[in-house]
């Protein structure tokens, strides 16, 4: 046990590590290194445990909990009544609540906002639950109550930096009228070193080209790997691919972060053919983070075939990403096509327009956990 850490804090740290392992597995690991053959029986819901049984499986960690979480996400909004009840339940364990928050973020239903805010109110002293809540809210449709919750965390000067970084991440995914204020405040030179990199990332996500020099200054000063990654992805938001490559040639950064930044810059700023080609490659060989970005990019470009291949292979990242955007892929005699998740199906012309409207700020949201990990470095 480290000096100054009691058994309670060590137990909390262990819980945190296990929850992150579950969340990363649920979001990324199944397809982090390319497509993996999926048994169609895995999607035969008639053989699945009940929703309530899968929710209770989240009380523990390991393969059983991961499988339960994936099934719950695959089921979609039908789980919400039971999931919200369990989240609010006084008898529910903390592991169950933490993992259920992650599941609800992946399902992405607006109806979950109230339940997520309520559980945060009950557990005000748990910084990790607050963090998970903010990261889940960032995957839900924009909501003024969720934004007010994030703003409250940033408005408290004495708040935990972990919570504030998560709130900045929320604003990077769900920009609002207050987002610029937080980018300026937390990206300023006088801001805490534990927060400034996140503030500059937010500024870059908002398209503030003036953040470039400050980001480069921090990178050159040396950062831990997690923060370096966040800063490079912020740089990719505001620098064209060719120029970014020249900049990176003069920086001492990891090869992996370099490749990620160049791909992100191409998706953000590249010509349509180049962008779509990179997205198709990322959908097959990329990390879970990159597959989310690639899926949204291809959706916006109406590239159905690569999405359909990943969908039918059972890629959980692609399936949950498309569903959060309001679409599913269906196969018929004429081939694969996108359908809106609605009683009234949209025509092809309408769903392409709808996708573009939904995804106006799509690129660069990146891996949902990167600021979580950075706080431990």
C-alpha 151: how far from chain center: 19
Range of lowest pLDDT (148-157, 271-280, 346-355): 346-355
323 neighbors 140 (Cβ within 8 angstroms): no
From the list 215, 217, 138, 208, the residue with the least C-alpha distance to 180 is 208
Exposure of 344 by Cβ count < 10 A (0-12 exposed, 13-18 middle, 19+ buried)?
Answer: exposed
Beta bridge partners of 339: 328
Unique residue bearing structure tokens 């009228």: 177
Beta bridge partners of 337: 330
More reliable by pLDDT, 86 or 308: 86
Please state the φ and ψ torsions of residue 21, each to the nearest 5 degrees: -60, -45
Exposure of 138 by Cβ count < 10 A (0-12 exposed, 13-18 middle, 19+ buried)?
Answer: buried
**What whole-number distance in Å separates Cα of residue 110 and Cα of residue 43?**
25
Pairing assessment for the beta strands 327-332 and 335-340 based on DSSP bridges: antiparallel
266 neighbors 241 (Cβ within 8 angstroms): yes
Arithmetic mean of pLDDT, 138-152: 96
137 neighbors 170 (Cβ within 8 angstroms): yes
More reliable by pLDDT, 312 or 10: 312
Q: Answer yes or no: is pLDDT of 208 > 60.
A: yes
Measured between alpha carbons, how far is residue 1 from residues 21, 62, 377 in Å? 22, 24, 18
Residues of the chain with pLDDT > 70: what percent? 79
Q: What is the CA radius of gyration of the chain?
A: 20
More reliable by pLDDT, 36 or 211: 211
More reliable by pLDDT, 353 or 91: 91
pLDDT mean across residues, the chain:
81
More reliable by pLDDT, 327 or 349: 327
DSSP, res 342? S
The domain ranges of the chain are 1-29+38-141, 271-358
Per-residue pLDDT at 34: 35
Confidence band of 40 (pLDDT split at 50, 70, 90): low
Helix or strand holding residue 361 (H, E): none
Indicate the pTM of the whole model: 0.79
Helix or strand holding residue 338 (H, E): strand 335-340
Arithmetic mean of pLDDT, 24-51: 55
Let me know how long the chain is.
Answer: 377
Helix or strand holding residue 228 (H, E): helix 225-238
Q: Answer yes or no: is pLDDT of 21 > 50.
A: no
Q: Answer yes or no: is pLDDT of 331 > 90.
A: no
SS3 331: strand
Per-residue pLDDT at 24: 44
Q: Answer yes or no: is pLDDT of 341 > 90.
A: no
Helix or strand holding residue 332 (H, E): strand 327-332
Confidence band of 63 (pLDDT split at 50, 70, 90): confident
Angle value at C-alpha 107, between 151 and 329, nearest 5 degrees: 130
Residues of the chain with pLDDT > 90: what percent? 57
C-alpha 91: how far from chain center: 29
Unique residue bearing structure tokens 């559980």: 119
Range of lowest pLDDT (54-68, 79-93, 107-121, 361-375): 361-375
Unique residue bearing structure tokens 């399936």: 319
Confidence band of 328 (pLDDT split at 50, 70, 90): confident
Farthest-apart Cα atoms in the chain, separation = 66
Per-residue pLDDT at 30: 32
**What whole-number distance in Å separates Cα of residue 292 and Cα of residue 282?**
9
User: How does DSSP assign 275-286, residue by residue?
Assistant: HHHHHHHHHHHS
Q: Answer yes or no: is pLDDT of 308 > 50.
A: yes
Range of lowest pLDDT (234-238, 248-252, 366-370): 366-370
């Amino acid at each position: 046990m480290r000096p100054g850490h009691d058994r309670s804090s060590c137990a909390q740290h262990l819980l945190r590590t296990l929850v992150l392992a579950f969340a990363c597995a649920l979001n990324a690991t199944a397809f982090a290194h390319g497509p993996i053959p999926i048994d169609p029986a895995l999607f035969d819901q008639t053989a699945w445990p009940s929703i309530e049984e899968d929710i209770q499986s989240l009380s523990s960690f390991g393969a059983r909990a991961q499988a339960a979480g994936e099934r719950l996400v695959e089921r979609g909004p039908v789980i919400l009544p039971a999931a919200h009840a369990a989240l609010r339940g006084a008898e529910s364990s903390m592991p169950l609540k933490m993992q259920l928050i992650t599941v609800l973020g992946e399902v992405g239903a607006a109806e979950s906002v109230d339940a997520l805010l309520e559980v945060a109110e009950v557990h005000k002293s748990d910084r990790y639950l607050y963090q998970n809540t903010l990261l889940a809210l960032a995957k839900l449709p924009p909501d003024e109550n969720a934004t007010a919750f994030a703003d409250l965390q940033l408005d408290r000067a004495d708040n935990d930096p972990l919570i504030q970084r998560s709130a900045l991440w929320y604003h990077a995914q769900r920009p609002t009228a207050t987002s610029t204020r937080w980018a300026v405040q937390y990206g300023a030179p006088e801001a805490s070193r534990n927060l400034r990199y996140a503030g500059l990332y937010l500024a870059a996500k908002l398209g503030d080209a003036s953040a470039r020099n400050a980001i480069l200054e921090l990178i050159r000063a040396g950062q831990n790997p997690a923060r370096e990654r966040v800063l490079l992805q912020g740089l990719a938001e505001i620098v064209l691919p060719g120029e970014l490559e020249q900049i990176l040639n003069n920086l001492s950064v990891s090869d992996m972060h370099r490749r990620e930044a160049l791909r992100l810059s191409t998706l953000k700023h590249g010509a349509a053919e180049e962008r779509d080609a990179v997205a198709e490659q990322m959908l097959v060989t990329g990390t879970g983070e990159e597959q989310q970005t690639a899926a949204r990019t291809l959706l916006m470009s109406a590239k159905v075939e690569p999405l359909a291949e990943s969908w039918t292979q059972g890629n959980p990242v692609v399936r949950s990403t498309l569903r959060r955007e309001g679409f599913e892929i269906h196969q018929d005699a004429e081939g694969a096509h996108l359908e809106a998740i609605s009683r009234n199906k949209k025509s092809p012309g309408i769903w392409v327009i709808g996708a573009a409207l939904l995804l106006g700020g799509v690129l660069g949201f990146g891996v949902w956990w990167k600021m979580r990990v950075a706080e431990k470095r």
